[in-house]
Structure 1
Amino acid sequence: MRLKIAAAAALILAALPFAASADGEVNIYSYRQAYLINPLLKAFEKETGIETNVVFAKNGLAERLEREGRNSPADVVMTVDISRINELVERDLVASVRSDTLEKNIPENLRHPDGKWFALTTRGRLIYTSKDRVKAGEITTYEELADPKWKGRICTRSGKHPYNIALISSMIAHHGLEETEQWLRGLKANLARKPQGADRDQIKAIAEGVCDVSIGNSYYYGNMLQDENERPIAEQVRLVFPNADGRGTHINISGIALTKSAPNRDNAIKLMEFLSSPEAQRIYAEANTEYPANPAVKPSGLVASWGEIHPDALPLQTIAAHRDEAVKLVDRVDFDG
């Protein structure tokens, strides 16, 4: 058995050594990094004897599937957020899956209503605050990010990043477009600097005193705590689970979808079912300090130590439906300008 792994996504995308109809294989296009999914795939190979072949890429997989059409060797696509997986649905690149196992393991709000995608892990889009300059409980909701009291005190990555687009989409779903626009303008007015960097950089900015509050995914904080060099930085930040006492904290997902062209459909569904199993969910969630999508599996010790998360129960497909509005809204308020 072997796992074909791309050392450089660009090279792999240029020449893919898949045999589209080989027996005993499943071919994977993945936005998730190799270190996160390799342990899962090795466990799957050991349990089933089915060989896994992988293409890793940061972007462009939807376009690649469109170019390849019915001749695509890809059986499944693994994604890092709801925006990218919904793009596959909108471009009609994925097929519906009806599986009692998947429907039992993955809650209804964490899967497409027609089985066109399934969540594998979840993460909260949280608020980070300075332990020194922001009191516990001083900010508890996303809505409060627009409060003028935070003027010049908030940092964030680009508003156009899929993680922020998903958050803005959820605000539209809950409050409507007009109210969300007012909120986004208020948030922009409170920024300490032009949106930049990634979520880890916002934690670093708080530690450096550039800002007091930021927005970020929960697992970045966990990853920094597990890094000897970054732990002292992360320890200067407090996690806030926004709207925990109301509608719940916005969550995003990593997910998986079956391609319409899947040459190894049966093996692909076996992989999807395996990844939803308690065994795989524990491996997957612990690898990146995420929350298991399968409610029967508890979060890892580190993640559990942060306290219980109360996720927004709104179906992610409902949130994803507002993506285009969110993108246009970010441009209209010139959020990154």
Structure 2
Amino acid sequence: MKLNASLLATLILSLSAATQAEEKVLNLYSARHYQTDEALYSNFTQQTGIKINRIEGKEDELLERLKNEGANSPADVFLTVDAARLAKAHELNLFAPVASKTLEKRIPAHLRTEDWFSFSTRARVIVYNKSRLTAEDVQNYADLANPKLKGKFCSRSGSHPYNLSLLASIIAHQGEAKAEEWARGMVANFARAPKGGDTDQIKAVATGECGVAISNSYYVARLLRSTKPEEQKLMEKVGIVWPDQAGVGTHINVSGGGMLKHAPHKEAAVKFLEYLASDQAQRYFADGNNEWPAVEQVKISNPALESLGKFKADQLPVKNLAMYQAKAQMIFDRAGFK
């Protein structure tokens, strides 16, 4: 069958348009809900000419959507917070391996896997009421289970991924028996039943409802940067401790993402992931949302993070946090950490 000249020209133009579409569009599914990310995305478009079509939602909703869409999914990249949620996407076989020397060079080995990458980190710190406790009372996560803190400890739910990842790290380092002993000790020290988010725990410590709590560092930094007088006064009453500095270091969790298995714009997806590892994008994570860059050499300008000082971070590979998530939930359930 021969093609006439007109039909051939149309076909060539169609293929050209398809190629251009491949280069100029990125479909992003994101469970990051931070206003400061807007600058991150618009800067990528300015640099590359690639338009980002973004769908935001809760982690579980987006994972379910990707599962249901299957091979027909329009999504190129999935971004979320917490290593366990990224690992869940991996378990569902949603990610595709990415071969990128840029990502291998810039993202430390313990902060990446074969198909997803961490782009920022946040630490699980101890916050305490300065009038009720001293920093020496809570130097380690283990101290939260010490009977001397009976009636002083507050926390968000044990089923929340932030707490599950912390317990998973304890299991990885110390084993299940020690992890369960620790969980039971914290339950025995509850000032009240777990409720609220990390910001609620910090405020409860500041007002004296609790003596001590754990929080992700970016919530602490956010309050330290607050311009509200009442929040500034609250933070004057709170002390911050980097736990386990004489041991394995403070537990860190991550925000990250990967290219999806059925991504229609794979070249754009890799460009976007590499962009997230660039100095400029890494500074957005730090200066905009109070997270630490995953790329170690990046210089940041965030007074709140700088005021917290330097610390020794746990180097446990992020994939190990996901490995023990199910066991962590079972331990919390047995301990009564609801």
TM-score by length of 2: 0.91
Q: How far apart, CA to CA, are the structure 2 residues paired with 1:66 and 1:155?
A: 36
Aligned to 2:323: 321
Q: Does 1:101 align with 2:96?
A: no
Residue 70 of structure 2 corresponds to: 69
| Deviation for aligned residue 1:232 | 1.9
Q: Does 1:256 align with 2:257?
A: yes
In 2, the alpha carbon distance for the partners of 1:285 and 1:265 equals: 27
Tell me the SS of whatever aligns to 2:299: coil
Partner of 1:312: 314
In the TM superposition, what whole-angstrom CA distance separates every residue of 1:47-94 from its partner, at most 9, and x where no partner exists? 111101111112311111000000101101111111111100111111
The separation in 2 between residues aligned to 1:57 and 1:165, in whole angstroms, is: 21
- Partner of 2:198 in structure 1? 199
The alpha-carbon distance between structure 1 residues 181 and 87, as it changes in their structure 2 partners (threshold 3 A), is same
Is the contact made by 2:31 and 2:57 (CA closer than 8 Å) also made in structure 1? yes
Give the match's secondary structure for 2:136.
coil
Task: Determine if contact 1:34/1:56 at 8 Å carries over to the other structure.
Answer: no
- 2:103 and 2:277 in contact (8 A); partners too: yes
1:180 alignment partner in structure 2: 179
Q: Does 1:83 align with 2:84?
A: yes
Using the alignment, how far apart are the partners of 1:236 and 1:32 within structure 2? 30
Following superposition, which runs of at least 4 residues in structure 1 exceed 4 angstroms of deviation?
none
Indicate conservation of the 8 Å contact 1:249/1:312, yes or no: yes
Which residue number corresponds to residue 140 of structure 2? 141
What do the CA deviations read for 1:269-299 (whole angstroms, capped 9, x no partner)?
A: 0000001011110112211111110001134
User: For residue 206 of structure 1, what is the amino acid of its counterpart?
Assistant: V
User: In structure 2, what is the equivalent of residue 217 of structure 1?
Assistant: 216
CA gap of 1:34–1:251, structure 2 versus 1, over 3 A, is closer
Unaligned segments of structure 2, at least 5 residues: 1-17
Counterpart-to-counterpart distance in 1, 2:188 and 2:182: 10
The whole-number CA distance in structure 1 between the counterparts of 2:180 and 2:32 is: 32
* 1:294 to 2:295 alignment: yes
- Higher share in helix: 2
Instruction: Report Cα offsets for 1:238-282 as digits up to 9, x if no partner.
Output: 111000121110000000111101000100100000010111101
The TM-score, its normalising length taken from structure 1, stands at 0.91
Give, in whole Å, the separation in 1 of the partners of 2:258 and 2:296.
20
Partners of 1:225 and 1:235 within 8 A in 2: no
2:12 aligned partner = none
| Alpha-carbon distance in 2 for matches of 1:35, 1:284 | 11
Gaps of 5+ in 1: 1-18
Q: Equivalents in 2 of 1:169, 1:52: separation in Å?
A: 35
Displacement after TM superposition at 1:34 (Å): 4.4
The AA in structure 1 aligned to 2:27 is N
Aligned pairs for 1:241-252 (under 5 A) are 241-252=242-253
Offset, 1:36: 3.1
SS in 2 for 1:27: strand
* CA distance 1:284–1:75, shift in 2 (3 Å): same
**Aligned residues with identical type, % of pairs:** 44
Kindly indicate whether the alpha-carbon contact (under 8 Å) linking 2:146 and 2:185 is maintained by their aligned counterparts in 1.
Answer: yes
Q: Distance in 1 between matches of 2:198 and 2:34?
A: 20
SS of the residue 1:35 aligns to: coil
**What CA distance in whole angstroms lies between the structure 2 residues aligned with 1:205 and 1:130?**
9
Q: Which residue of 2 aligns with 1:331?
A: 333
Which protein is bigger by CA-based radius of gyration? Answer: 2
Please state how far the C-alpha of 1:329 moved relative to its aligned partner: 1.4
Query: Is 2:154 the counterpart of 1:152?
Result: no
Partner of 1:234: 235
Query: What residue is the counterpart of 1:46 in the other structure?
Result: 46
Instruction: Measure the CA separation in 1 of the matches of 2:317 and 2:233.
Output: 37
- The aligned runs of 1:123-138 (5 Å cut-off) are 123-138=122-137
Q: Distance in 2 between matches of 1:136 and 1:318?
A: 29
SS in 2 for 1:273: helix
In 2, Cα distance between equivalents of 1:156 and 1:204 = 12
The residue number in structure 2 matching 1:30 is 30
Taking only aligned residues, the RMSD between alpha carbons, in angstroms, comes to 1.4
Q: CA–CA distance in 2 between the matches of 1:107 and 1:184?
A: 31
Other structure's SS at 1:95 match = coil
Letter in 2 for 1:319: L
* Structure 1 residue 164 corresponds to structure 2 residue 166: no
CA–CA separation in structure 1 for the residues paired with 2:138 and 2:168: 21
Contact 2:29 2:62 in 1 (8 A): yes
